[in-house]
Amino acid sequence: MDKTQILRSLIELKKISEGISVNGAAWFIEFETLSKQKYVWQGEFENKGASIFLDSGGGDEEDKKNKPKIVFEKLFLNKRELGIIFRHNFQNTHLVC
């Protein structure tokens, strides 16, 4: 993997964190805070294939219907699952413990 691929992946993760669906994306991210708290964020979107990129002419409503859905998304703190993250839209994301 080269730097360009890493940077593209980080850009895709930023989109996901903002609530944007990314077709076929799967991620597993580990990070540690300055206070030694270890987090893991992982998840996956369904893969709708290349056909979702074709313009269906259906407008915004059609685009919403065709966007990839989250298969799963979880958050862990120090190896303990904090819960499953449910996304309805970016403003309405919540954690269920």
Q: What is the pLDDT of residues 16-51, one digit of tens each?
A: 988 899 999 999 999 999 999 999 999 999 999 875
Tell me how long the chain is. Answer: 97
* DSSP state at residue 6: H
Count of alpha carbons within 13 Å of 49, Cβ hemisphere only?
A: 2
94 has pLDDT over 90: no
DSSP-derived 3-state class of residue 86 = strand
This prediction has a pTM of 0.70
Q: What pLDDT was estimated at residue 50? A: 76
Q: What is the pLDDT of residues 43-73, one digit of tens each?
A: 999 999 875 555 555 556 666 678 899 898 8
Q: How confident is the model at residue 89 (pLDDT cuts 50, 70, 90)?
A: very low
* DSSP state at residue 78: T
Residues 87/19, Cβ–Cβ less than 8 Å = yes
